[in-house]
Amino acid sequence: MKIVVTGGAGFIGGNFVYYLLKNHPDDQVICIDSLTYAGNMATLEEALKNPNFFFEKADIADREAIYGIFEKYSPDIIVNFAAESHVDRSIENPEIFLKTNIIGTSVLLDACRKYGITRYHQVSTDEVYGDLPLDRPDLFFTEETPIHTSSPYSSSKAGADLLVLAYHRTFGLPVTVSRCSNNYGPYHFPEKLIPLMIINTLNGKPLPVYGKGENIRDWLYVEDHCSAIDKIIRNGRVGEVYNIGGHNEKTNIYVVKKILELLGKDESNITYVTDRPGHDMRYAIDPTKIHNELGWLPETSFDEGIKKTVEWYLKNQDWWQPIIDGEYQKYYENHYGKK
User: Rule CB under 6 A: which residues touch ligand DAU?
Assistant: 85-87, 125-127, 181-182, 192-193, 196, 208-210, 215, 217, 252, 276, 283
Binder among 4, 10, 119, 282 for ligand NAD (CB under 6 A) = 10
Binding mask 208-237 vs ligand NAD (x if CB under 6 A, - otherwise)? ------------------------------
| Residue 153 falls in the annotated catalytic set | yes
| Cβ contacts of 275 within 8 Å, gap of 6 or more | 210, 211
| Residue 127 falls in the annotated catalytic set | yes
Which residue minimizes CB distance to ligand NAD?
Answer: 10
Name the segment binding ligand NAD (CB under 6 A); options: 20-28, 54-62, 269-277, 283-291: 54-62
| Cβ contacts of 334 within 8 Å, gap of 6 or more | none
Using CB under 6 A as the binding rule, the residues of this chain from 98 to 117 that contact ligand NAD are 100, 104
Q: Min. distance of Cβ 123 from ligand NAD in angstroms?
A: 4
Q: Which of 33, 56, 84, 127 is catalytic?
A: 127
- Closer CB to ligand DAU, residue 67 or residue 254? 254
| Residue 135 falls in the annotated catalytic set | no
Q: Which of 218, 223, 261, 229 is nearest to 80 (CA)?
A: 229
Which residue minimizes CB distance to ligand DAU?
Answer: 125
21 forms part of the interface with ligand NAD (CB under 6 A):
no
Residue 217's binding partner out of ligand NAD, ligand DAU, none, with CB under 5 to 8 Å set by partner kind: ligand DAU
Q: Min. distance of Cβ 83 from ligand NAD in angstroms?
A: 3
323 forms part of the interface with ligand NAD (CB under 6 A):
no
- Closer CB to ligand NAD, residue 96 or residue 270? 96
Q: Which of 126, 131, 161, 191 is catalytic?
A: 126
36 forms part of the interface with ligand NAD (CB under 6 A):
yes
For binding to ligand NAD (CB under 6 A), which residues are involved?
A: 6-7, 9-13, 33-36, 38-39, 59-61, 81-85, 100, 104, 123, 125, 157, 180, 182-183, 189
Catalytic residue IDs: 126-127, 153
